[in-house]
Amino acid sequence: MQHFLAAFFALDPFIALGVFVATAATDACYVAFTSAVVARKRLSAANWSSVWYMLSSFAVISYTENWVYVVFAAVGSWVGAFLSLTLLHRPGKAPAPIGSSPPE
C-alpha cells in the first residue's frame, strides 16, 4: 500500500496531463492512419504513422518512470479513439465501403 501511495503522490500533474493529451492524440492519429490505409493514401498514411509513433513515445517514456501514469494513458486513449471516431463518422456522411477505391 505504501508503494502505491508513494507512486501516486510522486505524480507531476503536468506530466499526467501531457500523457493524457499525448495518448488521446495518439489514438486520433491511429484512427486517421487506419482511414488513410483503407483509402490507400500512401503519403497520408506514412505521415500519420510518424506522428503516431512520436506521440506514443512521449507517453511511454513518461509512464515508465511511474506506473500510475498508465491510468492517464488509458483514459487519454479512450477519449482520443471515441472523439476521433465521433468526428470521423458525422451524421449524413456515409462511410465508404471497406476495400472500395479512393474518391477521385
Sorting pLDDT into bands at 50, 70 and 90, what band is 97? low
List, for residues 20-75, the tens digit of each pLDDT value.
888 888 888 888 888 888 989 999 888 888 888 888 777 777 666 777 888 888 88
The pLDDT of residue 78 is above 80: yes
CA distances to 45, 89, 103 from 70, rounded to whole Å, are 27, 28, 39
Using the structure block, give the residue that is written with the C-alpha cell 451524421.
91
pTM listed for this prediction: 0.62
